Amino acid sequence: MKSTHRSVVVICDSLRRDLIDQDSAPAIHALAQHGTCYANARSVFPSTTRVSSASIATGCLPARHGLLGNRMLLEEDGGLVSHDVGAPAFRDHLFKTTGRTLLVPTLAERVREHGGACIMSNVSPGAAYFHDPDGHGHVLHRAGSFGPGRERLSGGRGLDIPSGAHGDRLMTQRFCALIESENAPAVATLWLSEPDHSGHREPLGSPAHRAAIAHADACVNAVWRSVRRLREAGVDVLLLVGSDHGMETVIGEVDVAAELRRAGLIGNADGTSVAVAANGSACVLGLAQAGRARAAEIAGYLSRQPWCGTVHRGDALADVGLPESAACTLAISLRHSDAPNGHGVPGSTWIAIDTDDGKHYLGAGQHGGLGRYEQSPFLIACGGGYPAGAVASQPVGLIDYAPTILRHLGLPHDGMDGSPLPLPLVNEAAA
């Protein structure tokens, strides 16, 4: 294999850093001794997978890239309509409605002429597609795979796998074969469904959830073996292994729109002038022109509710990385605490009910808001000049992945909200 610079990224969806230990995740625990761990990594807001994917891919916050939740509002026909970003058809609907997908270039676009990019993803279609929504590289997903130019890939060129641990294993085998092949891209990303897939169904810290962490850990170990072989063959690989957000235990569910109707703040005549996009332990409210006069009253009502944590409005939206618009007038992080669940895992939260979802999560894990453990992803940088066995305390986030990768490849990383991951402080590196 010819000597070159390459980047490999592995995302273990929803794996919060305090749940990584020698028993559940021995490979990740050991990998930390070969790279630099970031002890103060954070997610974005809403801390949901589809937003996270776009933020990692662009190096920008939601206010810049324009994807505002797992569910988001669009201005259509004079009103606001709520859409599931994870649906396979949403990317095309967004483009048809607005004339665009994301508002800024993705990593795949930036490396298109410099070795290319490929993502293999086993989470929702929307999370996969918004990593590269305009077809600059390869996107492989069970709901449909695409090559450059959004050429549909069929048969063996696609990714026919189930969701969950078994699908993750099959996908990882395919991924390792790709990065060790002569056709390996400059940037290769593996997005695992575990432990998110199990965490939404099982109590955090339960045997089933711990097993899901172990499944993800085994996939990381397989990629780490491939990376070591590549390095032995002379390839300079920067390996980034992390998660997009954490999870907290659901202790209450609330239908925010129903509560506003009950309080007389939304009437049957409002139609789509006031709309709600539930995002787990976060919620975005849009107020079209007809409803804007009620923004302060609605914000005041929400802030007094026992299930509400913080309400963001006006300039406070920018503080959490969101734009202010008719489709994003108010944003809520629901109430959370450090209280542990029955398995001793701290972090409890209320969530907003997604009436189109039909699922309930009481006692299991969810995310989306600003809770301490939702905002506790892990991140390890191995290679690329990052010292082994170091722990860095500087604040970092998902928006720092793309500039770090571009710098390693010797490419510009201008126009991003993030910056290349900093080296640890001297005393931390020495430790």
- Helix or strand (DSSP H, E) at 146: strand 145-147
- The answer to whether residue 130 is domain-embedded is yes
| pLDDT at res. 1 | 38
329, 361, 393 — which closes off a domain?
361
In this structure, the answer to whether residues 229 and 253 fall within a common structural domain is no
CA distance 272 to 420: 42
How confident is the model over 3-17, as a mean pLDDT?
93
Tell me which DSSP letter residue 2 carries.
-
337, 361, 385 — which closes off a domain?
361
The two three-digit tokens of residue 270, written as one number: 């409002």
The residue type found at 271 is G
Domain count, the chain: 2
The two three-digit tokens of residue 406, written as one number: 């571009």
Query: Where are any strands of DSSP class E within 243-345?
Result: 248-254, 274-279, 282-287, 308-313, 330-334, 336-340
The per-residue pLDDT for range 116-154, each reduced to its tens digit, is: 999 999 999 999 999 999 999 999 999 999 999 999 999
The per-residue pLDDT for range 264-311, each reduced to its tens digit, is: 988 765 556 889 999 999 999 999 876 778 899 999 999 999 999 999
> Contact at 8 Å (CB) between 379 and 242?
yes
In this structure, the answer to whether residues 27 and 167 fall within a common structural domain is yes
- Cβ neighbours of 43 (radius 10 Å): 26
In this structure, the answer to whether residues 207 and 184 fall within a common structural domain is yes
- The answer to whether residue 366 is domain-embedded is no
The per-residue pLDDT for range 344-401, each reduced to its tens digit, is: 999 999 999 998 888 889 999 999 999 999 999 999 999 999 999 999 999 999 999 9
In this structure, the answer to whether residues 238 and 254 fall within a common structural domain is no
CA atoms within 13 A on the CB side of 220: 33
The residue range of the domain holding 343 is 249-361
- Provide the whole-model pTM: 0.96
As a whole-number percent, the residues of the chain with pLDDT over 90 amount to 91
In this structure, the answer to whether residues 287 and 390 fall within a common structural domain is no
In this structure, the answer to whether residues 182 and 34 fall within a common structural domain is yes
| pLDDT at res. 203 | 98
- The answer to whether residue 75 is domain-embedded is no
- Best CA proximity match to 44, nearest among 377, 310, 286, 280: 377
Scan for tokens 């809770």, then name that residue.
Answer: 371
The per-residue pLDDT for range 303-346, each reduced to its tens digit, is: 999 999 999 999 999 999 999 999 999 999 999 999 999 999 99
Helices marked H in 263-377 = 295-303, 315-319
CA distance 127 to 156: 22
> Contact at 8 Å (CB) between 118 and 188?
yes
In this structure, the answer to whether residues 411 and 331 fall within a common structural domain is no
| pLDDT at res. 430 | 58
In this structure, the answer to whether residues 63 and 185 fall within a common structural domain is yes
361, 390, 406 — which closes off a domain?
361
- The answer to whether residue 326 is domain-embedded is yes
Please, what's the b/e burial string for 164-192 (b: 16 or more CB within 10 A of its CB; e: otherwise)?
bbebbbebbeebbebbbeeebbbbbbbbb
In this structure, the answer to whether residues 398 and 313 fall within a common structural domain is no
In this structure, the answer to whether residues 170 and 294 fall within a common structural domain is no
- The answer to whether residue 397 is domain-embedded is yes
Q: How far is CA 47 from the centre of its chain?
A: 7
Task: Report strand pairing: 117-121 vs 187-192.
Answer: parallel
- The answer to whether residue 171 is domain-embedded is yes
In this structure, the answer to whether residues 355 and 386 fall within a common structural domain is no
CA distance 131 to 119: 8
Task: Spell out the long-range contacts of 145-153 with Cβ–Cβ below 8 A and sequence spacing 24 or more.
Answer: 148/112, 148/116
> Contact at 8 Å (CB) between 8 and 176?
no
Task: Assign residue 242 the CATH number of its domain.
Answer: 3.40.720.10
- The answer to whether residue 135 is domain-embedded is yes
In this structure, the answer to whether residues 345 and 385 fall within a common structural domain is no
- The answer to whether residue 133 is domain-embedded is yes
> Contact at 8 Å (CB) between 224 and 239?
yes
Cβ neighbors of 37 (< 8 A, separation 6 or more) are 378, 379, 380, 390, 391, 392
Task: Assign residue 341 the CATH number of its domain.
Answer: 3.30.1360
